[in-house]
């Protein structure tokens, strides 16, 4: 994983800036012969796209995806399929407002990458954060949608499990609720309460962080690899690469530090189809390799850095000043990070599936 | 990062099993002309090596490192230096006890990689966990010692900041204390209290988790890169690849989720040498690129899985049984993870230093 | 180099099929701050594009390139520059004739990748050879044009030096002649003779191979690296990856086998600016590292496989048949391979420049 | 392929200098469960090792290989097998003569990497050429021996087919003869003649180049991949990375340039087990993917640069001087390149086998 490319056998390269003509992704290494359509990809993109409730940015983007390559419809069966060659996906930017950028051109916005891009490159696309914009995540979601097609046996879902200091009650957890509220939250009660909370945050000219939990069911034992190719290490890299993410946890995560070895042990019992685990503190991964239990990853997103409340900063000429961001922004970027987290889980798993198959010749573990 | 190799320009490949004749690492891409010696590497290895207090495993390994390649001592200056070619480092295993392995041969130990390696590969080196043993981390520490030589301007230190549920008091934090207690803990008061606590855990036949904080000072602005080559993403991968790690945090980490945008903003002021930050919730990284502030990473280690208390498990023939581990084991593997975390910080930074220099021609940011 | 990506620090990923809506390339890792424009890239594309003489395919493609990302024009200086983020370049396909593909759909054309793509993937884009079409090389040329901007001190030129069995006379070699004939040939006398020869080949319903020589002047000593990152190895991979290439030579090339050590030695003499070589059998590379002398690479291109003369083949149902190709094809694909060879030289050198700078901190050798 | 690592899924990293304590290789990504032994690897090493006839260097090295990791002998079956983890192989250097290196320390030997290493790194291991020594190729041969175990269905053989200007007569070609002469030559008549020729070269204080042909039989259709992952491109990189190689050809190679499309077409006929080719100008590769026919690669090796005849050169202080090399050297390094070429063929094929299997789930093509 380096530069703008993620993955090894199944891999993708994203490109594009917030206010350029378009953004896109090239997915390379996809297995051939998989039925695919723009609609299948659009479905995931539509979940991430802005402007779907008052709790996300009001920027209007259709995020309509076009498949430019890597697929073929044989006239004899009339089904569009992957060919094994690179799949180029393009999304037009349609709502880049023309505006005066001089404020952010000449100031470093706290929490943004303005200062660091400027230091690194000596040049900075100050229009809508350029490459550092969360707009890039649409490309990830598109890649993730292709990845899902590679591992249809795996069910990947995610939920917002914390907004600001407010955690969900896992007792209320119901995957079916995720699409019934504007927060992708599996706890309908929490989601209800968060509405007022987030309205307050927004009206106060502030923003708030969040925690997202992503769960993959149906991952067989055996995916992943020691030592630097651990499934957990790749998931950590994948999630930490998402804009604004500051922490990644697998299974028990940070809580594992507080447990004793007696408590933390996921004991095993003989099952009809082989050994089973009595708990899943491991989050479905031991030694970097999947156990067959659900793969559970959580990641924490910091509050949106673009807020109306003025913050102290400096100009690019190193003079003290203040800045407040008046644009269209998500009061809680964590919300739209939910489908993004799913996408990153999908690309990591698809890649490890192919890598495992390459080394061992098997799709899964040796079985029982 | 895949297979057993970590890094891009500065990279290393580790090999070796717990009970094989030796372990080692090949460090590739090191800049030429750097003075080096086995002693410089040994210093870091000695901090990680087992048997240094009653709180770590009693396995006795000298971990004496030999440099087999990649260096040259010109008779005209008599200084051993790196040549730019691969540096092969080898450590003999000297204390692999001959014993009866049949118990762990035929049982999957909960929390260990026994089941997953078996599922993945269909063959498992059951002697001392083979490749999954934490013994591999000696190789990382050796690579990290070389990495430190590449970036001498960067000071990398780490401390245990939590043992089980017991956190340090940051008010007592003093780097000078780290080497004054058996826990690499910067809070001497906490370290004192942990002695009794850990004795209790050990006597109870259990173990406990921990949190380690690694801090790199002297990293200039500009290292790191968008999007999948983020400094934060590589650090997450690096730390999560360490045995038993279940969570990685950058800066405010998980806590960032609970903050508002107003609180989380690291405000800036004009300084004599350019912009300065008034706080460091970012942990020294914005948009995946270093800010110039200390890079702060924490990672959580689960409790040692090898415990004396019997746990339920199954045999490789899928029959219910119990297992307890009588070998020599650390009651808190987090302790020895402190120098390992430093090493992984060092290798990530050395790699990003070279990558940044390659793309931009500068060692640091554009400066002020 | 794998999949559809070439290069390490300076790298690019191409996508697109012959008869899809468009083709393109994402160039990643480009240094920031370099002035760039679509025109600069177009210049190289125009040299490769089809239909420029009766000796290349009559397919009409403008090959007009659009820059979709990775550049920024600061309103304060009005110059479009690279930003260090991925540069996405797109070229529309405009002349994909609608036609009856059933002949090539059901037959494997000898010399083409029809059979092998079908065997590998089980699905084959039979429209204009899909991904296997030489149309992909437009993307390379676009990437090469960007690479040239990274190393402006290096002058890269190429010439056809053999067409069929007819070699040029190096006594007539004059770079200024390359653009004065339809063959990119530095020997005007040979070029003149080849016109009639190639007309004859074309009229006979056949085609012919060629050899291209690419020369890079201004490469300083020190670029390249042992052992598997040799400049020569990367050039070999680069040139061999071009469609229809069957051989790659560096410097003396195949002839080196016939020389004695006495003859082959490039002797050295003290020069004002350091050691100089009295000959260049090495082709500017020793031990995989540049010497400072011109880097000289030749590659041989097989004759175009699409010919009017019927050849024996089989159907996809494994039945004997014949096939002849009536489409628009180059009688000598080697001609248009000239700018492609230049492009591949440029991308290899740009990549090695950045890699060398990353490891050593210098742009060139240590100098004298 | 970069730095000192070759390959993607099946990959290896070599290390070590000519006059260091040892050299070695770490083979990573090997499939698990393959029976292996030091003897299996030794067999190939013994073919490459020096001092086996008067036509190779008289340096005495046993090249005894030790397996340090990545294998396991389960006491229940008593067979040493690969475990899927990195296989570390080590070979001691035993015959590094202590001598006065001041001559080569202070002079650049023509044809050697002395000048370029010095320019690149500013430091040079002048003892026996250090890392640039052909001694590194022992590590390749060891890796190749492991690769052969991964693809036992493929038979890889090589022959010297040209020594200096003297080519073999393919009419005499007989694989069985390769081990009956000191040149690994399949034409016994040519081998006989070469004895006197090479004696003359040696006595004249000179050396001579050679061409080696490597043939892999049993490669199924479907291995390899477009565009930059072409089997041909990887073979070109592999062979060109061998010391002293200046040209690589696939199938008809350079001769393809002289052929017409009518001649070059490998026509096809229906066979019982699917389509067959009537000729193999393609060298078993079309569009970068294997056809099922033998994969044929040739590479040209320049004459040994170390010769007794004095050649003009300069000192490291840029003063004119002369140098002759009195050490123990091969008069034709091409001879020992024969097993090296086989090894590189093996590693490329093993890697492509795993990559193909990863992407498609099949070991071979779709078949008939």
| Residue D326: band (very low, low, confident or very high) from pLDDT cuts 50, 70, 90 | confident
Contact D358 A354 (CB under 8 A): yes
Average pLDDT rounded to a whole number, residues D273-295: 97
> Which candidate from C20, C23, C85 shows the least CB-CB separation from A131?
C85
- For chain A, the chains sharing at least 3 beta-carbon pairs closer than 8 angstroms are B, C, D
> Taking the CA atoms of chain C, what radius of gyration do you get in angstroms?
21
Cβ neighbours of residue C158 closer than 8 Å, sequence gap 6 or more: C178, C184, C212, C213, C214, C215, C338, C339, C341, C342, C345
Cβ contact (<8 Å) for B2 and A232?
no
Q: Would you call A101 helix, strand, or coil by DSSP?
A: coil
CA–CA separation, C203 and C206 (whole Å): 7
Say yes or no: ipTM exceeds 0.90. yes
**pLDDT band for position A97 (cuts 50, 70, 90):** low
* pLDDT for residue D114: 96
DSSP annotation of A32 reads: S
- Mutate which of D289, D355, D361 to test chain A, going by most A C-beta atoms within 10 A? D361
Average pLDDT score over residue span C180-197: 97
Return d(Cα B23, Cα C291) in angstroms, integer.
Answer: 38
For D249, the enclosing helix (H) or strand (E) is: strand D245-250
Percent of chain C with pLDDT over 90: 88
Contacting subunits of B (3+ beta carbon pairs below 8 A): A, C, D
Residue B164's pLDDT band, with cuts at 50, 70 and 90, is: very high
**Distance in Å, alpha carbon of C33 to nearest chain A alpha carbon:** 6
Mean pLDDT to the nearest integer, C115-124: 97
Confidence of residue B97 (pLDDT cuts 50, 70, 90): low
What average pLDDT score do residues D300-321 get?
A: 96
Q: Which of A46-55, A107-116, C300-309 has the lowest mean pLDDT?
A: A46-55
Q: Which residue of D has its CA nearest to C107?
A: D268
Query: DSSP E strands: which ranges in chain C?
Result: 5-7, 11-16, 22-28, 65-67, 71-73, 80-82, 87-92, 155-163, 166-167, 210-217, 245-250, 268-271, 274-277, 285-286, 289-290, 295-301, 311-314, 320-323
The single residue listed with the structure tokens 């009001």 is: A58
The pLDDT value given to residue A165? 97
Q: Copy the structure tokens of residue B361.
A: 């021609």
pLDDT exceeds cutoff 80 at D58: no
Q: Are D228 and C1 within 8 A, CB to CB?
A: yes
Rounded Cα–Cα distance for residues C308 and D136 (Å): 50
Distance (Å, whole) CA B232 – CA B253: 11
Nearest CB among A239, A264, A318 relative to B275 is that of A318
Confidence of residue C244 (pLDDT cuts 50, 70, 90): very high
What mean pLDDT is reported for chain C? 95
Contacts of C359 in chain B (CB under 8 A): 9, 29, 31-32, 84, 354, 358
pLDDT computed for residue C98 by the predictor: 60
- pLDDT for the residue A328: 67
Q: Residue B249: list chain A partners with CB under 8 A.
A: 246-247, 254, 300
Helix (H) / strand (E) element for C350: namely: helix C337-360
Contact A69 C16 (CB under 8 A): yes
- Is A69 within 8 Å of C15 when comparing Cβ atoms? yes
Q: What is the structure's pLDDT at B98?
A: 60
| pLDDT for C56 | 78
The shortest CB-CB distance from A123 to any of C14, C16, C33 is to C33
- What average pLDDT does the segment A160-180 reach? 98
Confidence of residue B328 (pLDDT cuts 50, 70, 90): low
Instruction: Please check the confidence at residue C22 and state whether its pLDDT lies above 80.
Output: yes
Q: Are C160 and C212 in contact (CB under 8 A)?
A: yes
**B273–chain C nearest CA distance, Å:** 23
Q: Of A135, A133, A155, A39, which Cα lies nearest the Cα of A93?
A: A135
DSSP assigned state of D112:
S
* More confident of the two residues B275 and A52: B275
The answer to whether D186 touches D174, Cβ cutoff 8 Å, is yes
Average pLDDT over residues A268-280: 97
Residues of A in contact with C26 (CB under 8 A): 4, 13, 15, 26
Give the Cα separation of D244 and D331 in Å (integer): 13
CA gap C93, C74 in Å, rounded:
31
Cross-strand partners of A260? B208
Residue D42, classed as helix, strand or coil, is: helix
Give pLDDT, residue D328: 67
Contacts of D22 in chain B (CB under 8 A): 68-69
Q: Report residue A240: phi and psi, to 5°.
A: -70, -20
Q: Between chains, do B72 and D124 touch, taking CB under 8 Å as contact?
A: yes
Among chain C residues, the shortest Cα distance to B32 is held by C360
Probe site for chain B from A4, A200, A250, A265 (most B CB atoms < 10 A)? A265
Q: Please state whether D297 falls in left (phi above 0), alpha (psi between -120 and 50) or beta.
A: beta
Residues from chain D contacting residue B120 (CB–CB below 8 Å): 32, 84
B211-239: average pLDDT: 98
Contact B158, B211 (CB under 8 A): no
pLDDT category, D218, cuts 50, 70, 90? very high
Using an 8 Å Cβ cutoff, are C264 and C180 in contact?
Answer: no
**Partners for C (CB, 8 Å, 3+ pairs)?**
A, B, D
Return the structure tokens found at D79: 């067979």
- Cα–Cα distances in Å, from A138 out to A18, A94, A114, A147, A214? 11, 14, 21, 14, 18
What was the pLDDT predicted at D362? Answer: 98
Q: Is the pLDDT of residue D335 over 70?
A: yes
| Distance, CA of D7 to CA of D357 (rounded, Å) | 15
Per-residue pLDDT for B66 more than 70? yes
pLDDT class for A179, splitting at 50, 70, 90?
A: very high
* Residue D109 to residue D103: CA distance in whole angstroms: 10
Whether D178 shows a pLDDT value over 90: the answer reads yes
Q: Assess whether pLDDT exceeds 80 at residue C108.
A: yes
pLDDT tens-digit profile of D67-97?
Answer: 999 999 998 899 999 999 999 999 999 876 6
For residue C57, whether the previous peptide bond is cis, meaning omega lies within 30 degrees of 0, is no
Region B308-319: what's the mean pLDDT?
96
Mean pLDDT of D110-117: 96
CB contact under 8 A, A4 and C72: no
Mean pLDDT rounded to a whole number for chain A: 95
Q: Do C3 and A87 touch (CB under 8 A)?
A: no
Select from C282, C291, C320 the Cβ nearest to the Cβ of D270: C320
Question: What pLDDT was estimated at residue D268?
Answer: 98
- Mark out chain D residues that contact chain A at CB-CB < 8 A: 8-9, 29, 31-32, 84-85, 226, 354-355, 357-361, 363
For residue D32, the chain A residues in CB contact (below 8 A) are 359-360
pTM of the predicted model, to two decimals? 0.97
The tens digit of pLDDT for each residue in C302-315 reads: 999 999 999 999 99
Q: Is the pLDDT of residue A325 over 90?
A: no
Q: What percent of chain B has pLDDT over 90?
A: 89
In a mutational test of the D interface, the residue from C210, C268, C281 whose CB has the highest number of chain D CBs within 10 Å is C268
Query: How far is residue D24's CA from residue B175's CA, in Å, rounded to a whole number?
Result: 40
> Which candidate from A131, A291, A318 shows the least CB-CB separation from B115?
A291
Three-state SS sequence of chain A: CECCEEECCCEEEEEECCCCCEEEEEEECCCCCCECCHHHHHHHHHHHCCCCCCCCCCCCCCCCEEECCCEEECCCCCCEEECCCCEEEEEECCCCCCCCCHHHHHECCCCCCHHHHHHHHCCCCCCCCHHHCHHHHHHHHHHHHHHHHHCCCCEEEEEEEEECCEECCHHHCCHHHHHHCCCCCCCHHHHHHHHHHHHHHHHCCCCECEEEEEEEECCCCCCECCCCCCHHHHHHHHHHCCCCEEEEEECCHHHHHHCEHHHHCCCEEEECCEEEECCCCCCCEECCEECCCCEEEEEEECCCCCCCCCEEEEECCCCEEEECCCCCCCCCCCCCHHHHHHHHHHHHHHHHHHHHHHHHCCCCCCCC
**Average pLDDT for A259-283:** 96
* pLDDT recorded at residue D22: 97
Give the residue with greater pLDDT, B102 vs B148: B148
Instruction: Give chain C's end-to-end CA distance (angstroms, integer).
Output: 34
Task: Encode D148-175: b = buried (16+ Cβ within 10 Å), e = exposed.
Answer: bbbbeebebbbbbbbbbebebeeeebee
Alpha carbon of B271: minimum distance to chain D alpha carbons (Å)? 38
Q: What is the SS3 assignment for C71?
A: strand
């Amino acid at each position: 994983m380096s530069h703008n490319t993620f993955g090894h056998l199944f891999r993708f390269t994203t490109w594009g800036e917030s206010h350029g003509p378009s953004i896109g992704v090239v997915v390379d290494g996809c297995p051939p012969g998989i039925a695919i359509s723009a609609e299948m990809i659009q479905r995931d993109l539509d979940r991430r796209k802005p402007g779907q409730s008052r709790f996300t940015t009001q920027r209007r983007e259709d995020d309509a995806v076009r498949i430019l390559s890597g697929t073929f419809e044989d006239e004899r069966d009339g089904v569009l399929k992957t060919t094994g060659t690179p799949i180029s996906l393009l999304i037009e930017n349609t709502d880049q407002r023309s505006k005066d950028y001089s404020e952010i051109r000449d100031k470093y916005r706290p929490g943004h990458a303005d200062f660091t891009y400027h230091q690194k490159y000596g040049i900075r696309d100050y229009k809508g954060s350029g490459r550092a914009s969360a707009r890039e995540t649409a490309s990830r979601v598109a890649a993730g949608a292709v990845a899902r097609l590679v591992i249809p046996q795996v069910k990947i879902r995610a939920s917002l499990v914390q907004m600001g200091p407010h955690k969900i009650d896992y007792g209320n957890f119901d995957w079916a609720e995720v699409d019934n509220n504007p927060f992708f939250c599996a706890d309908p009660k929490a989601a209800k309460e968060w509405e007022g909370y987030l309205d307050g945050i927004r009206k106060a000219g502030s923003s708030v962080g969040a925690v997202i939990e992503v769960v993959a069911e149906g991952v067989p034992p055996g995916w992943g690899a020691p030592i630097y190719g651990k499934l957990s290490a790749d998931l950590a890299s994948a999630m930490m690469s998402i804009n604004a993410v500051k922490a990644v946890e697998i299974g028990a995560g940070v809580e594992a530090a507080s447990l004793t070895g007696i408590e933390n042990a996921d004991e095993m019992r003989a099952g009809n189809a082989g050994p089973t685990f009595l708990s899943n503190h491991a989050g479905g991964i031991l030694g970097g390799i999947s156990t067959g239990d659900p793969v559970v990853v959580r990641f924490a997103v910091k509050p949106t850095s673009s807020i109306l409340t003025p913050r102290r900063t400096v100009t690019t000429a190193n003079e003290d000043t203040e800045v407040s961001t008046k644009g269209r922004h998500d009061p809680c970027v964590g919300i739209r990070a939910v489908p993004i987290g799913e996408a990153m889980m999908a690309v990591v798993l698809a890649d490890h599936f192919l890598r495992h198959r390459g080394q061992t010749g098997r799709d899964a573990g040796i079985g029982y």
